Amino acid sequence: MRIGELSRRTGASRRLLRYYEEQALIVPDRGPNGYREYDERYVDRVNQIRGLLDAGLPTRIIKQILPCLDKPRSIHFPDATPQMLALLATERDRLSERIDVLVRNRDAMSEYLAEVARCRAPEDCGAQ
């Protein structure tokens, strides 16, 4: 797919996709005409990059994490300093806390929807 379609499917602007390419977060093929060509896996990859950026991770760390998402994995850690590892551990813990909150909110919404579905009439639910 070309850059316009990847942009449409991910919601990332073309400019942002070119930035990801400059940062070596995505590496499109080039057609004979020089146009960028992205295969289907880049839809998920761009969404994952955006999620990691939203979590506060800088692109230099995201670049190191991305191979963990590939199969087979090819993890490289030439500059895995103690500070970087501490930052990743902190961000991982922060993400876990956010996930816990999201799960609680989802469960509360599910309970509410189930109760509303059960209570079709006010007399069914003890309303006055």
**Radius of gyration in angstroms for the set of CA atoms belonging to the chain, rounded to a whole number:** 21
The domain segmentation of the chain, as residue ranges, is 1-75, 81-128
pLDDT in tens, 94-126: 888 988 998 999 999 999 998 888 887 666 666
Task: List, in sequence order, every residue forming a beta bridge with 36; answer none if it has no partner.
Answer: 30
**pTM value surpassing 0.85:** no
Q: Which residues of the chain are modeled with pLDDT < 50?
A: 128
Q: What is the structure's pLDDT at 72?
A: 56
Q: What is the structure's pLDDT at 12?
A: 94
HEC assignment per residue over the chain: CCHHHHHHHHCCCHHHHHHHHHCCCCCCEECCCCCEECCCHHHHHHHHHHHHHHCCCCHHHHHHHHHHHCCCCCCCCCCCCHHHHHHHHHHHHHHHHHHHHHHHHHHHHHHHHHHHHHCCCHHHHCCC
What's domain 1-75's architecture?
Orthogonal Bundle (1.10)
